[in-house]
Every structure is written in C-alpha cells, then in structure tokens.
Structure 1
Amino acid sequence: MTTEFAPPGPLDARDATRLRVLQCIRSAGAISRTDIAQALDSSPATVTSACVALLEAGLIREEQRPPSENVQRGRPRVMLQINGDALAVAGMKVARDAILVMIADFKGDEIGTYVSPLAQSRMSPDQLVQEVRRALDAACAALDMSPDQIAGLSLGMPGFVNGESSFMHWSSSVTERNVNFAPLFRRDLPCPTFLDNDANLVAKAEHLFGAGKGLRNFLVVTIEHGVGMGIVLNGELYRGERGCGAEFGHMKVQFGGALCQCGQRGCLEAYVGDYAMVRDAFTGRQVDAAKTIQDILDAARGGDTLAQEVLDRASQILGVALANLVNLFDPEHIVLARSRPPFDHPYSETLLNALRQNTVQVDAPLPEITVRNLNEMMWAKGATAHGIEMVTLLKLRGEGAEDAA
C-alpha cells in the first residue's frame, strides 16, 4: 500500500494568515469577522478572504445570533466557530516504553486515548513505523473507529527532527541516523503522517490549549529522560534552518564534561536528564542503588546525602540554564514541564532561585513561570494539535483531499 501525499512544506503568507485566523477563532470559541480583524490588527478584506477559504474547506461554520441587548434593531450577528466534525486526527508520542495515542476532533476535543506498549526503547526505522501502524489500528479498534476515518497522523519523538520534511537526523528512539521517514510513512500508513520533535509538539499543545494560549512569545522546557525545548516566537513555532533548533538539552554547560546520550560531552541533559541523575546517584553503589528518579527523590527525603547532592546540583544547573534563556529570548512566559514523577517542591524552588539570581536585572518583572506536571497524554495532545494544523494546510490547498475527507 502506498498513499499519495506530501508534507505541506514551508508556510507562505496566505497560509500563515489563514492559520492565524483559524487560531483566533479557536481561541475565542465564537467570534465575528470584525472582531477577528481587530484582534489580528488586519484588514477586513484579508480576514474575509481567509474565512471564505476556511468555510469552503468545511473547517469552520457560521452561526447567526440576535443583536445584543443594547442594539434593538439590526441584522443578526454572524459568528464563526470551529467545525469539530470536520475531521479526526491522531497524535502519537514515542516514549521509551510505549506509544501514547490520542485521537481528537477538529476542535481538539479528545475522542479517546490508547497506550500501545513497546518491547524495546530503540528500534530500526522500519520497526518504528510498524509499531506506529500497530498503535493506530489498536487505538481505532478500541474506539470503534476505522483507520480510514483518520485524516492525518502526527508523530512526536525525541531528537533532531526536521518537522517540515519528516527527516530525522538523530533520535534516542531509533538505531540509525539521518532517516527520511516520509517515504516510510507513505508506504505503510493509511493517511498523511507528519513527524516532529516531541518538545515542539508540547509547545504546540500549550499554544493551542494551555498556558501559551493567546501568547506571542513563550518557551516550553521538558525534563524527562532527556531535556527538550519548544520555542514560540511571534505566534509561530521556531524550528531553525535545518529543523534542529531549540535543542536546549544539548547546550554545553561544561567543557569536556559528562558524556551525553547524543555522543558529545558537557551537554545540559548529561547533568539534568533522568538518565544522568540516575547514573550520578548510582556511582559507587553496589546495594540499594537508585534505579529511577522516584528512587532518588525518596532517598533524598530520607536523608541520603548523595541523592540530595545530585538533585541540588541538577536543580542549580537547570536554573542557571533557564536564566540564560530569559537573558537570550526575554519571553512572556516559560512552561517547565515533566510527566513523572512530579516535580519535588524543595528542588523546584532551588531551580527557581538559581534562575532569579542569574537573570540580568532590569526594572521589569521576570517572565511568568509555570511549573507543570504533565499528564503523559499532553505529549500526544501536542502531536494532535500539530496534526490538525498540517491537515488544515492540506485541506486548504486541496491536497490529500481524499485522505482528509
């Protein structure tokens, strides 16, 4: 089986405008064309043109409402809303022990979730695509759906990924480097499929549904097995020229330092990633060694000196690194997120203190910091949000229409 479609590619000005209008409608719930133009500081003609395209694609719908109480006469107001029934999209996150699946309607409302276990944390590209297909089929069966009902699938994984082309330079989930997944997706999957860095997709979820909703400039930093970051600048996800930007976890913090899983030394995540902290807490121990972050937290609470030192050092290093982000980007907001175990209060406070002490002092408040303990499905929800955006572009361009119907 081979499905004929291609990634949408870079946005042009018309695409960007249509997506901005759609996001404005999504954020408002229901809004008039006039209010969209005011919110986006755009001309009524530009907004009307974008709305016509969205209506013709079936992605939004009109609703007439009577004039407000203060207006006794006049035509009913025409409000625009997202058409949640337009299509369904699947989002997936490749974790170390499972593929997390969420299927949502076009509003982003959850239809259902599914967890597809993985027998191994690293696999070949072909194996990974087969596991994705198995996860999709199982999720659809569990939700009494057909895979043919899925208009698009977005897949998030850790590593250096070009989200515009589905080209993966390196990932801790894949045994090979420099893999073009696009032809593998076309060969084995039943719908348009898009690949991106998992932290980028959490940023997308925060932008559409979470702490970044309505913001133009914010950062999301994820702390898991490794360290990831998503950057939203001027309302758009920033990926870099090669799709490898925002690799916060591989910022160097120590010349010739600890070995990182990427193969280089001195990376931030080689000190604050889960695997690094477990490694450091395990050093020199033969009995009752820490095997997980939760074990380290429990040992620290119990007075274990080495566990406390590992947590304190990681918290301070991460706090200084976050201060560098504030000094570099001056964002409106930073979301600091992890799934499990939850952030431990004493060490998150150590982190925030290091951030405050190392940020350049000006007569203005620091950006707001949200310390979030992610529901694991937030990763898949981010992938779903990305899939919604990509399928939107295909629909508006008249591409993959059969697949996205």
Structure 2
Amino acid sequence: MLMDLAALSGLDARDATRLRVLQCIRSQEEISRTDIAQALDSSPATVTSACGALLEAGLIREVERAPSGAVQRGRPRVMLQINGAAFLLAGIKIARHAFLVVIVDFKGDEIGTYALPLAESRMQADALVRRVRTALDAACDHLGVDVAQIAGIALGMPGFINGQTGFMHWSSSVIERNVDFVPLFQVHLPCPTFLDNDANLVAKAEHLFGAGRGLRNFLVVTVEHGVGMGIVLDGKLYRGERGCGAELGHSKVHIDGAVCQCGQRGCLEAYVGDYAMVRDASTGRQTDAPTSIAEILAMARAGDALAHQVLERASEILGVALANLVNLFDPEHIVLARSRPELDPPYPDIMLDALRRNTVQVDAPLPGLTVRNLDKSMWAKGAAAHGIEMLSILKVRERGAVDAA
C-alpha cells in the first residue's frame, strides 16, 4: 500500500516503526517476525516490540503454521496477519450522478457496495456532506451493517484537493471554492473522515489491485466528465506542494481555446472530457443533439461528420497529452482509465499514433499502456484503501498515546 511520507511526519520514531511494521504485514498474506526484521533491515527486538503493540491494539493477529516438509517436527511457526475484523471502513466515490459506497474490513476485503443516485451534480459543501451521511446510512442498512461499526470514511472527489488536510480549493462537485471540509465532517459524520482527489485514489487502487501492482513508477490518467491523473513515483503517491499536483486535465493545450468547467480556457479536458465532447458535437444542431459519448459514437457510425471530427480531435489531443507525460516522467507504465464506452476504430489508433509521433525518440520501447473502462467500484476501492492507510496512522498514534500515559 502507498504510504504518504507527510503522514509519517507527525509520528515519533517508535510509532513510525510500528506503522512500517504494520504496512510490511499488510503487503503479505502472512509473515513472521524474523522476515519482517529482514525486510525492514531492523533488529528482531525492535520488530518484536512493535508487533506486541500492534497485537494489543488488535490491528494484527497471530496464526500458527506447522513446519513445512515431509516430517512435521518442531514447534509451529507463528505468523502474523492483518486482523480484518478489527474495523470496518467506507470508501465513497463522489460522482456526478451518484455516490458509490464500498464497505471493507481492515484487511481490505469487500463487504459490499451501494449506490445512492443524485438529482444534482453540484451542491453546497454542507449539503454534500449531509448527502454523504445519507449514503453511508443507506449502504449500511442495505448491507446489514451497524453504522457504529464504521471506524473511518474516505471520500474521493474530483478537483484541487489537499489529501493531507481535507482542504478543497475547487471541485466540479461543489458550488463554493476554498472549503475546509474537516469541520463539516466533524459535525455531520460519525467517525474520522478523509478526503482526497479521486484520481489519486484510483492510482492507489491500481497499485493495490490493478496494473500498477509491483511497479515503482507509473501514471494513471482518468477520463470521464473531466480528466484526472495520479502519479506514483518511487512507490509513493506524488501530490505536489499544496496537495494540488497532477491536474493533467487543466494543463493547457490551446491558448485562448475552449472554455473549461474550471473557468479557464484551453484546458485538456475542455477537448476530451465528456461534457466538452457533448458540447462540441452539439454545435449548430437545432435538434437531435447528443447527450452522451455513446450517442456521439452512434452518430459517427451513422456517418455524421461533426461527431467523427469531435472524436478524431479528442483522440489526437489525448494522444499528444500522453506523449507529454512520457517525455516528462519516463514512467514504467501508464493506465488510461475511462468511464465511457470503448471507442471504435479508427479512434484508438489515432490516439496511439499521436502518442508515438510526439514522444521523444530513444532506442528503448515506450512505457506499457493499459487502457481500461473504469469500473466505478475501482474509485471507491481506492477511497477505501486511502481510508485504511489513514485509519492505520490514527490507530498507531492512539496506541502511542496509551503507552505514553
């Protein structure tokens, strides 16, 4: 699991060690104290002390395994696992038309999912947090879970968001700008709640469950209503100084170009985001204007020249944007995750050709590229992964405070 170094800065050396041990255990199905010490290059006494505190806190548990081999002799080997029953968490994706909730245990195993439809795509911050509570209560009721069992909530939302502080500079889901969500969470929600940019959370999910498993340097580009990006460098999520980094959708591709939903002109998502393509494919039409990417595709198949032009231009521009990322980061892999129908030929080839033509040519293959239609649950799973990470930090801090008292 990705662990943000900024989160570690508030821990003393003892608690930081406990957290590293917890993360080491989480990275394995089960592991011995000896193997943890080797993996962390730490002393056996230090690891034993950390494991003792984590066991007392209920975050991990011991299991006995018989010695391997044909002759079963000797004492059983004591292995350590994450205690999934310790806590339940909720990961919530804030989308335009629904809140998708996934409930997981502390190990990350899914209990179930629930979607709460939304009548409006933008709302006041206070109303949004109240709606989050409604979604949480409905999900728990649907899944037969007592809301009091939920120990942490993590929200994924589009926009410029500082994932360490819960401060939102701007989001397409919220009417106001510059909102500190922490006081609202404390008023309306029953447990610690964490907020982050949704594309960052998809990067976490890809690192845990998807194409980023085992990789140290990779990028996730999300394309839906807008365009987002998650950056993993040296195994860690990169956020930027203000927590607002990786906003690929608002990089400029045309000076004084099309209007973006952020209010500026010429942004990438003003050409490749769902709303932009629907807008451009509707230009000049008095009737039968498309309302979705699926309708634009159907019109292009039927020979509509404007629909074809919009798809062709979006594919070209997206390919150039991906090439710029290769030139900037030289990643191991790029995941292009789309919440839209799969594009027909020739549009994927147009994108790939633009990627190849605009990448600096060296005597090495291009990074791997995974193109996937993004399952909405992936967003919520990423939020849940963030919640597990942040709740782990809180529980380790709490244990440290108990020991110091």
Q: TM-score, normalised by structure 1?
A: 0.90
Cα pair 1:33 1:79 within 8 Å, conserved: yes
Q: Percent identity?
A: 75
Q: CA deviation at 1:77?
A: 3.0
| Correspondences of 1:151-300 after superposition (within 5 Å) | 151-300=151-300
Cα pair 2:53 2:399 within 8 Å, conserved: no
Q: CA deviation at 1:34?
A: 3.9
Question: Match of 1:351, SS?
Answer: helix
Q: CA deviation at 1:263?
A: 0.7
Match for 1:151: what amino acid?
Answer: A
Residues 338-363 of structure 1 deviation map (CA, whole Å, 9 limit, x = unaligned): 22334545422322222122222222
Q: CA deviation at 1:41?
A: 6.0
Question: Match of 1:30, SS?
Answer: coil
Unmatched segments (≥5 aa) in structure 2: none
Residues 354-396 of structure 1 deviation map (CA, whole Å, 9 limit, x = unaligned): 2122222222222211111121111111111111111111111
Match for 2:7: what amino acid?
Answer: P
**Count of residue pairs the alignment pairs up:** 395
Alignment partner, residue 379 of structure 2: 379
Instruction: Point out the more displaced range, 138-147 or 385-394.
Output: 138-147
Alignment partner, residue 128 of structure 1: 128
1:369 is the counterpart of 2:366: no
Q: CA deviation at 1:309?
A: 1.4
Cα pair 1:205 1:382 within 8 Å, conserved: yes
Cα pair 1:84 1:106 within 8 Å, conserved: yes
Taking the aligned partners of 2:400 and 2:37, their CA distance within structure 1 comes to 30
Alignment partner, residue 397 of structure 1: 397
Taking the aligned partners of 1:165 and 1:303, their CA distance within structure 2 comes to 50
Taking the aligned partners of 1:370 and 1:217, their CA distance within structure 2 comes to 14
Instruction: Point out the more displaced range, 289-298 or 19-28.
Output: 19-28
Q: CA deviation at 1:109?
A: 1.2
Taking the aligned partners of 2:357 and 2:54, their CA distance within structure 1 comes to 48
Alignment partner, residue 64 of structure 2: 64
Match for 1:54: what amino acid?
Answer: L
Question: Match of 1:319, SS?
Answer: helix
Aligned pair partner of 2:8 in 7, 11, 17:
11
Q: TM-score, normalised by structure 2?
A: 0.90
Instruction: Point out the more displaced range, 23-32 or 171-180.
Output: 23-32
| Correspondences of 1:142-157 after superposition (within 5 Å) | 142-157=142-157
Taking the aligned partners of 2:347 and 2:221, their CA distance within structure 1 comes to 16
Instruction: Point out the more displaced range, 186-195 or 350-359.
Output: 350-359
Match for 1:277: what amino acid?
Answer: M
Residues 13-50 of structure 1 deviation map (CA, whole Å, 9 limit, x = unaligned): 75666555444433431233444455556665665555
Alignment partner, residue 5 of structure 1: none
Residues 168-209 of structure 1 deviation map (CA, whole Å, 9 limit, x = unaligned): 000011110000010010011100011111111111111122
Taking the aligned partners of 1:330 and 1:18, their CA distance within structure 2 comes to 34
Cα pair 1:203 1:231 within 8 Å, conserved: yes
Q: CA deviation at 1:399?
A: 7.4
Q: CA deviation at 1:51?
A: 3.8
Match for 2:324: what amino acid?
Answer: N
Taking the aligned partners of 1:121 and 1:325, their CA distance within structure 2 comes to 30
Taking the aligned partners of 2:147 and 2:349, their CA distance within structure 1 comes to 46
Alignment partner, residue 335 of structure 1: 335
Taking the aligned partners of 2:41 and 2:302, their CA distance within structure 1 comes to 56
Instruction: Point out the more displaced range, 236-245 or 60-69.
Output: 60-69
| Correspondences of 1:31-180 after superposition (within 5 Å) | 31-39=31-39, 47-48=47-48, 50-69=50-69, 75-180=75-180
Instruction: Point out the more displaced range, 48-57 or 98-107.
Output: 48-57
Cα pair 1:222 1:228 within 8 Å, conserved: yes
1:313 is the counterpart of 2:313: yes
Q: Rate the CA distance shift 1:224–1:167 in 2: closer, same or farther, 3 A.
A: same
